[in-house]
């Protein structure tokens, strides 16, 4: 079970126990949704689900389906004395994104959401979320880089830990708060994302879904 006292390595091991089962389940659910809504034509179907693993970890996952692709987003989460912490997991990459309580506080404040309950905020976040594209701002040392990431709702700032393959997502700013080089970075990433972001967490094997777990 995920708990605040765990090290980053322990958190990764815990997630790795859960994720293959959740991934198979999400493919099965997505295939069923797609089958029930055929023909898709111009439909776009977005559904979000809560999931508790056999290891008693809390997850939220989103299935976003249209005629061309299916995008899956996965978040594990837990609470500490600082508040809500969430970890985004990818089926195509070993990198984990760690979202701090401070990040969610700023996300709530700067988008003027006024959401009180942490779980409601997490659901709002995953409803809005598609994915991030990151660029390096500064190399701190051989294993640490400060990074800048863009998404449709705004921009995140954090640090990438190469040796452990995770990004600490520290804070969130809206597009209108950007200034100086941030504006140029955001423009370049936005142009790149128009071509590539839709490929993130794409479920390519929906035509042959596994059995539900």
Determine, yes or no, domain membership for 2: no
- Tokens 């996965």 correspond to 74
Determine, yes or no, domain membership for 24: yes
The per-residue pLDDT string of the chain (213 residues; one tens digit each, 9 = 90 and over) reads 999 899 988 999 999 999 999 999 999 999 999 989 888 888 889 999 999 999 999 999 999 998 888 889 999 999 988 899 999 999 888 999 999 999 999 999 999 999 999 999 999 999 988 777 788 888 899 999 988 888 878 888 899 999 989 999 999 988 777 665 555 555 554 554 445 444 444 433 333 333 444
Determine, yes or no, domain membership for 212: no
Determine, yes or no, domain membership for 120: yes
Residue range of the domain that includes 177: 8-199
Q: Hey, what are 182's tokens?
A: 């941030």
**If 0-12 CB within 10 Å is exposed, 13-18 middle and 19+ buried, where does residue 174 land?**
middle
């Amino acid at each position: 079970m995920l708990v605040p006292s765990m090290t980053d390595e322990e958190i990764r091991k815990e997630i790795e126990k859960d994720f293959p089962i959740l991934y198979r389940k999400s493919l099965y659910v997505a295939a069923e949704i797609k089958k029930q809504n055929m023909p898709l034509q111009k439909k776009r179907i977005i559904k979000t689900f809560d999931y508790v693993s056999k290891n008693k970890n809390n997850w939220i996952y989103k299935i976003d389906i249209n005629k061309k692709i299916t995008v899956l987003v996965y978040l594990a989460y837990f609470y500490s004395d600082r508040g809500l912490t969430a970890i985004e997991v990818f089926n195509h990459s070993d990198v984990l994104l760690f979202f701090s309580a401070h990040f969610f506080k700023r996300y709530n404040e700067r988008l003027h959401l006024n959401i009180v309950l942490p779980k409601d905020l997490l659901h709002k976040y995953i409803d809005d979320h598609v994915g991030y594209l990151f660029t390096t701002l500064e190399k701190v040392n051989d294993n640490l880089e400060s990074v800048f990431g863009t998404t449709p709702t705004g921009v995140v700032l954090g640090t990438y830990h190469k040796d452990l393959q995770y990004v600490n997502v520290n804070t969130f700013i809206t597009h209108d708060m950007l200034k100086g080089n941030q504006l140029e970075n955001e423009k370049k990433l936005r142009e790149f994302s128009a071509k590539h972001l839709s490929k993130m967490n794409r479920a390519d094997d929906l035509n042959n879904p596994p059995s539900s777990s």
